[in-house]
């Protein structure tokens, strides 16, 4: 926040005085009349701000008035009319296909103003001939000057003091332009020109140019450091990306610097911040590397904070990603997103939430898996030793449906200290979802009995204390629990209690099944043996369409200390 003491003037009331703001000597903006404080978003670091009062009646300057805010150093600006004429230079930016440039150029040319064109050499020469200019404007090569001065519109005339900008006029503002020319000692006749025309968009703002310049700046400023790979003119980019081993077998979006830099606009984090060290080879996933893989996966920009939070969670030691990648079992990371940002990123929590057709659901999990592949080095058939795998390993993500029908607050909110408006991701090492039908149960006990019976099958019925489970309760099942007032914890307790079995029925060889508990470990055949290590090891999420008395079970991999523990984290640090 920049504040200053309002100026006084013999002609203008304080409420009529405007102020010019200069950042490090460069003109930044003109305030509305009567302003004495303004909020400005800037990069961290020390900056010098100068505030100059402008008397709009006389177009003169009143002098320095500033009492700048904390951590902002004020630099005095003197009355400088005479001095300016000696030291200042004028520079004009124009382009060939701008009618307003055509109108102003003869006057600028006659006044001897240095003119740079944003257009090609040929177009500029043709424009000069068309307007009978005395000199052909110079070319602003690579738009370097335009990018530095960054006008919205051309013609743009700048008053420069060395590298520092003192003033500018964008478009055609006849009186201001005349004043500017006079200040630089190059008075010109602007008679016959309209009083005001808005000008044309600067080439730097063209949709085909702006992203390229933004990418160039990101590279120059060290925000982007990844190696650039060239794909030849005779190569099909999609084939080339497959050939270089960078895909999961489906087509990917080529991660051009422009796309990656645009995606990075959706996080406040520096692109070189570390998100996590990715197994199995310990590749460093920076925000930049994750953004590149998010682009590959087809993510839209607003998905990036969710992908970053998912990668950070996957790299936590207790998630045991090395084992999840390398195991012969089929799990992949399942990303459950709980909270309002899921909707803002376009995620689906309703009908077909676990299916296809929603871009964010389809690409968030894929971005995580491509990060695992490309940054971590986990490739199927090599580091990934899955006997079968499962289709969800392309990437699985869905949002929780936390609307008025939800029986409980979100999964992430139950597992981490998140505020109700905060969004969290929960990662679960899971297999493919399986459908559970109970179309008759209308009381919670009967429904819990069905769900418990089906949860017995995770891994196998003989598998005890090995697997966790993620139960995705559908809305028509959730309604039964909501109406009965069953909390998340109540249902977890009921499911845990109902998934105990007699030890004697689980012992090796019982019912002709070889697998099971070693006979020597069973002292009492009637002792109940739990399926799950604890009630909270049955994770509950809520998602799905309005119709269908169904829920879905996603079985876990080796769980807890022996394998993977679900990890929950907030997306707030990644926004």
- Which residues make up the interface to another protein (CB under 8 A)? 224, 226-233, 237, 241, 246, 254-257, 260, 278, 281, 283-285, 288-289, 292-293, 296, 320, 322-323, 327, 370, 374-377, 557-558, 561-564
Q: Which of 163, 493, 508, 569 is nearest to 333 (CA)?
A: 569
Alpha helical stretches, state H, 300-431: 304-314, 321-326, 340-344, 359-371, 411-415
CA-CA distance, 66 to 47, in Å (whole number)? 14
Nearer to another protein, 251 or 548 (CB): 251
Nearer to another protein, 331 or 544 (CB): 331
SS3 call for 329: coil
Q: Which of 196, 153, 177, 179 is nearest to 55 (CA)?
A: 179
Cα dist from 310 to 76, 86, 360, 391, 407, whole Å: 49, 59, 13, 19, 25
CB of 561 vs another protein, minimal distance in Å: 7
DSSP assigned state of 503 = H
CB of 295 vs another protein, minimal distance in Å: 8
CB of 88 vs another protein, minimal distance in Å: 40
Structure tokens at 419: 């505020």
CB of 209 vs another protein, minimal distance in Å: 16
Nearer to another protein, 385 or 442 (CB): 385
CB of 218 vs another protein, minimal distance in Å: 10
Per-residue exposure over 514-548, b if at least 16 CB sit within 10 Å of its own CB, e if not? eebbeeeebeeeeeebebbbebbbbbbbbbbbeee
CA-CA distance, 355 to 543, in Å (whole number)? 12
Residue that the structure tokens 């006979």 belong to: 519
Residue 156 burial class via C-beta count within 10 angstroms: exposed 0-12, middle 13-18, buried 19 and up: buried
Whether residue 78 is preceded by a cis peptide bond, meaning omega within 30 degrees of 0, is: no
CB of 508 vs another protein, minimal distance in Å: 11
Nearer to another protein, 136 or 463 (CB): 463
Nearer to another protein, 263 or 570 (CB): 263
Torsion of CA 378, 380, 386, 387, to 10 degrees: -160
CB of 240 vs another protein, minimal distance in Å: 8
**Contact status, residue 188 vs residue 178, Cβ threshold 8 Å:** yes
Nearer to another protein, 85 or 385 (CB): 385
CB of 248 vs another protein, minimal distance in Å: 12
CB of 389 vs another protein, minimal distance in Å: 17
CA-CA distance, 283 to 70, in Å (whole number)? 41
Q: Nearest 5°: CA angle at 220, between 219 and 222?
A: 65
Nearer to another protein, 8 or 521 (CB): 521
Helix axis angle, 304-314 relative to 359-371, nearest 10°?
40
Nearer to another protein, 331 or 410 (CB): 331
Nearer to another protein, 160 or 522 (CB): 522
CB of 313 vs another protein, minimal distance in Å: 17
CB of 232 vs another protein, minimal distance in Å: 6
Nearer to another protein, 156 or 275 (CB): 275
Nearer to another protein, 128 or 299 (CB): 299
DSSP assigned state of 250 = S
CA-CA distance, 351 to 469, in Å (whole number)? 22
Residues β-bridged to residue 60: 55
Structure tokens at 133: 């200019």
CB of 254 vs another protein, minimal distance in Å: 5
Terminal-to-terminal C-alpha distance of the chain: 22
CA-CA distance, 379 to 377, in Å (whole number)? 6
Whether residue 155 is preceded by a cis peptide bond, meaning omega within 30 degrees of 0, is: yes
Nearer to another protein, 160 or 469 (CB): 469
């Amino acid at each position: 926040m920049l504040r200053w003491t309002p100026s006084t003037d013999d002609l203008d009331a304080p409420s009529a005085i405007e102020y010019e703001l200069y950042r490090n000597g460069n003109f930044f903006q003109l305030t509305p009349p009567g302003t004495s404080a303004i909020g400005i978003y800037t990069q961290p670091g020390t900056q010098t701000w100068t505030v100059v009062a402008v008397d709009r009646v006389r177009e003169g300057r009143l002098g320095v008035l500033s009492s700048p805010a904390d951590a902002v150093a004020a630099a005095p600006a003197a009355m400088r009319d005479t001095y300016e004429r000696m030291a200042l230079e004028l520079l004009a930016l124009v382009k060939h296909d701008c009618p307003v440039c055509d109108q102003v150029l003869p006057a600028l040319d006659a006044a001897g103003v240095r003119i740079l064109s944003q257009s090609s050499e040929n177009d500029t020469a043709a424009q000069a001939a068309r307007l009978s200019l005395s000199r052909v404007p110079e070319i602003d090569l690579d738009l370097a000057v335009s990018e530095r001065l960054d006008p919205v519109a051309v013609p743009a005339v700048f008053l420069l003091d060395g590298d520092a900008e003192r003033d500018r006029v964008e478009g055609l503002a006849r009186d201001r332009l005349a004043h500017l020319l006079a200040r630089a000692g190059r008075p010109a006749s602007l008679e016959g020109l309209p009083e005001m025309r808005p000008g044309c968009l600067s080439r730097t703002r063209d949709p085909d140019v702006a992203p390229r310049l933004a990418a160039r700046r990101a590279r120059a400023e060290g925000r982007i450091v990844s190696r650039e790979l060239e794909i030849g003119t005779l190569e099909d980019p999609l084939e080339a990306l497959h050939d270089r081993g960078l895909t999961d077998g489906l087509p990917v979006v080529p991660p051009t610097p422009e796309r990656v830099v645009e995606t990075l606009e959706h996080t406040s984090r520096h692109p070189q911040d570390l998100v996590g060290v990715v197994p199995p080879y310990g590749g460093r996933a920076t925000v930049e590397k994750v953004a590149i893989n998010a682009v590959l996966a087809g993510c839209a920009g607003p998905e990036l904070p969710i992908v970053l939070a998912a990668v950070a969670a996957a790299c936590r030691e207790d998630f045991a990603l090395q084992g999840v990648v390398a195991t012969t079992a089929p799990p992949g990371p399942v990303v459950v997103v709980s909270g309002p940002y899921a909707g803002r990123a376009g995620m689906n929590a309703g009908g077909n939430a676990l299916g296809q057709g929603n871009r964010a659901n389809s690409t968030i999990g894929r971005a995580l898996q491509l990060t695992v592949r490309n940054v971590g080095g986990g490739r199927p058939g090599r580091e990934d030793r899955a006997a079968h795998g499962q289709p969800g390993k392309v990437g699985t993500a869905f949002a929780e449906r936390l609307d008025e029908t939800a029986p409980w607050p979100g999964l992430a909110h139950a597992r981490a200290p998140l505020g109700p408006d905060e969004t969290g991701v929960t990662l679960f090492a899971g297999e493919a979802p399986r459908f559970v039908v109970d179309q008759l149960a209308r009381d919670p006990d009967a429904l819990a009995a069905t769900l418990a019976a089906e949860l017995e099958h995770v891994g196998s019925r003989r598998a005890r204390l090995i697997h966790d489970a993620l139960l995705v309760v559908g809305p028509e099942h959730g309604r039964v629990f909501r109406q009965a007032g069953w909390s998340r914890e109540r249902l977890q307790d009921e499911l845990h209690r109902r998934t105990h079995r007699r030890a004697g029925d689980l012992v090796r060889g019982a019912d002709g099944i070889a697998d099971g508990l070693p006979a020597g470990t069973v002292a009492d055949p009637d002792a109940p043996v739990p399926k799950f290590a604890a009630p909270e090891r049955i994770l509950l999420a809520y998602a799905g369409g309005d119709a269908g008395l169904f829920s879905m079970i996603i079985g876990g991999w080796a769980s807890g200390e022996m394998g993977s523990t679900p990890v929950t984290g907030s997306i707030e640090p990644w926004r």
